[in-house]
Each structure stands twice: as C-alpha cells, then as structure tokens.
Amino acid sequence: MSQHLIDNRLARRFFIAMQGLAEPPSRAWGKPGLYDAVERLGFVQVDSINTVERAHHHILFARNQTYRHKHLAQLVEKDRLLFENWTHDASIIPTVFFPYWKHRFDKQKTRLRTRWKDHFGQEGFDDDLDRVLARIARDGPVLTRDFEGDKPSTGWWDWHPSKAALEYLWRTGELSITRRDGFQKVYDLTERVIPAEHYAKSVSHEEFIDWACRSALQRLGVATRSEIMAFWALLTPQEVEAWTKQHRHELEAVRVEPADGGKPQPSLMLAGTLDRIAAAPEPPARLRILSPFDPLLRDRKRAERLFGFFYRIEVFVPEAKRKYGYYVFPVMRGDRIIGRIDMKADRATDRLAVRAFWPERGLRISKALVAQMEAELDRMRRFAGVASVTFDTDWLRVDQVRPPAGP
C-alpha cells in the first residue's frame, strides 16, 4: 500500500463535505433529501437535552434549514425507512441497515444479560422479560408508564422492573420504538415495526464485518483502524484488523497532517479516494452553530486532530468546575471551528438567551464576524420557536480565550 500525505486543510474540507456541511443549506430537502442525509451520515444521535432543540433535530437543521421535524417523524413512524436503536448511543438509523443490527443484538444479549441481571437481581429478570413481551403481544404498543404498580423509578439505575425489561428487549432487538409520545418511547414488537423485507433478511458474520468496516470508511473518508471500529460501535479491534488485512488490495495507506502541524496520522482509505479529496469543495463561508453531538465532532480526538478544537461536554461536570457551561455549542465558520457559544432557548420569556461566546486562539472579532454570528443566532431563534435573541452584556469573551488544547 502506497503512502500519501494529505494536508490538513484538504482533510478538513473533505470530511466536512462527507458530513453534508459543504452543501447549500437552503436547498429544499423534503423527505427524500432528509432520508438521503441520514443515510449519508449513517446515523443521527438522539439525546433528551433540549437546551435549544434536541440533538437529532439540531444535527439535521445545521445541514439544511428546510429540515422539518414532521418529516423525520414520518420517516420513522409511518414510512418506516428509519428506525431507532443503538450505535454508541441511542440513534436514528436507516432501516435498510436492520439486518446488520441483528449481529449487534446477539452480542448485546450476552453482554447486557450478565450486566443487567447482576444489577437488577438474578431472580425474576427472565419472568419480567416474558411478562412484558406477553403484554405487548396481546395489547399492543406501550409506554413505560403503562406498567402501573411497579416500583417507581428515581433515576437511571433505579428503573422499575418493567422499565429495565423494556430497555433490555429494545437494545436486544425483540422490541422496537414504533413512535414517540412527546419524547417518551412507545415500544412494540419488532416484527410489527420493521418492514418484512428487512426484518426477515439475514446476513452472514463475514458480510456483517465487511459492511460495518466498509460503510464506516465510506462515511469517514480517511480513518484509522480505531476510528473504523468506533464509527458504528459494532466491531472489535480484532475484527477490524482482520478485515484490513483481508482487503489490503482495496485500501491505500495515507498520512494525514494534523491541525497543529505535528506528526501525520497513519490512516487508511478506500482506493480512489484521493481524487475525491482533491475535488472536495470549499465549504460555505457562513457561520453554523453545531450540536455538541454533531457527527463532525462526535469523535473528540479525531476532531481535535483535524480541526485543532478541544471539546468536552460539561453536562456531568459539577457547576463550580465547568470551564464554559452546562451545554455549550461548537461554532463552525467555513472549514474551521472558531469557538463555542453558551445559549439557551428560554421559552418562559420567549427568547434565545446568549450568555457567552469564547473564540478560539487567533480569531479576530470583526464586525463581519459579529454580523454572521447574529444572523446564525436569528436562524437558531426561529428554529427554536422563540421571538427574540438577547445577549448578556459581556457575551463576547475575547479576554478569556483559552490556551492551546492540552492532552
């Protein structure tokens, strides 16, 4: 395998293009364009935090301002072209991938059964699974709250028995989410949710490994073995290593220059990718505020290497120890991540409250940049469904620019 050096700017532009962030953001999507975007990304993470909007909506809106919530709901709940399950976290996934998820379900049945039975107690766990499945088979879709009389839940690991059973059965493929009631999952038997052509189809273990590695590399463009493994969270290091050896004739070894100009990162790409990298378009110069769970930045180490942007979400950090805030959004301009912003849709006062913007080192705060920021915040305001944008008096934290990213 030959060795090519890909400079950092080209690598950034190519990955941005692969992520659908180099396209005109106002071109009408409709449902077909939305489905294509999700299939291209591979999955869209679902998260319950609603500081401005939920993560899956924000991820899609960042790529196209014609995105509509109802179109996503229709693709999941009526057309059944998308389904909800688990990658590295809860996600919306093209239903055509369901046959490959059967291999994940098999792995999860072994892993979660041991882990959850140890936590929730050995006795009664299988009975709870049978009881929940029997009720859904007889009565139809259910929410967690439909199981009255169980021990009440006070947190993630204080689930009542039926909640634990529902989540286990969903994570292992016997139940699926047929729709959302507000943000509450509505569970049904998988055979009543997933279309028959996908539900009945099976693929061999070899086909599963090939698909998982190849489709990850197609979406990442250029990646290390660990990044291929982590993309879907479906594979082991040994499976990826064996695949790369078996398919070495289809792969090219490259080195990717990091943002800090340091030692290039040895990586892999499918043959023929170099021409696509060279043809990667320059992203629109406009500014975009991204979700903390945006797939461009989900792999934090990769994002730091490509963009020189060190980011950690501080939701679980005690307030007194936070550097920035509870839920701070990365800000992209062109092909660079230029800072992070703390904002919240305050629906009680009908406003988008902007608390602070921290620029990255070397960013010049010009009138043009502030105008771009205000324009994007107005788009976010309309997306969140509030009437105005307000700014704290010291929202431009130009005197608090962070030092260079550490390890």
pLDDT at 395: 93
pLDDT at 398: 75
The per-residue pLDDT for range 53-106, each reduced to its tens digit, is 999 999 999 999 999 999 999 999 999 999 999 999 999 999 999 999 999 999
Q: Which two tokens stand for residue 205?
A: 């273990």
The per-residue pLDDT for range 260-272, each reduced to its tens digit, is 999 999 999 999 9
pLDDT at 31: 97
The per-residue pLDDT for range 15-54, each reduced to its tens digit, is 999 999 999 888 999 999 999 999 999 999 999 999 999 9
CA-to-CA dists, residue 72 to 30, 39, 54, 133, 295, angstroms: 10, 13, 13, 28, 18
pLDDT confidence tier of residue 358, bands split at 50, 70 and 90: very high
pLDDT confidence tier of residue 151, bands split at 50, 70 and 90: low
pLDDT at 378: 97
pLDDT at residue 2 is higher than 70 = no
E strand intervals along 27-183? 44-45, 82-86, 90-94, 175-181
pLDDT at 126: 83
pLDDT confidence tier of residue 152, bands split at 50, 70 and 90: low
Nearest in space to 275 (alpha carbons), one of 2, 10, 1, 49: 10
- Crossing angle for the helix pair 205-220 and 237-246, nearest 10 degrees? 80
List the Cα angle 24/60/402 in 5-degree steps. Answer: 90
The per-residue pLDDT for range 280-308, each reduced to its tens digit, is 999 998 999 999 999 999 999 999 999 99
The per-residue pLDDT for range 160-207, each reduced to its tens digit, is 778 888 999 999 999 999 999 989 999 999 999 999 999 999 999 999
Which amino acid does the sequence have at 324?
Y
Mean pLDDT of the chain: 92
DSSP lists the bridge partners of residue 352 as: 345, 389
The per-residue pLDDT for range 202-257, each reduced to its tens digit, is 999 999 999 999 999 999 999 999 999 999 999 999 999 999 999 999 999 999 99
pLDDT at 171: 95
pLDDT at 116: 65
Phi, psi for 405 (deg, rounded to 5): -60, 135
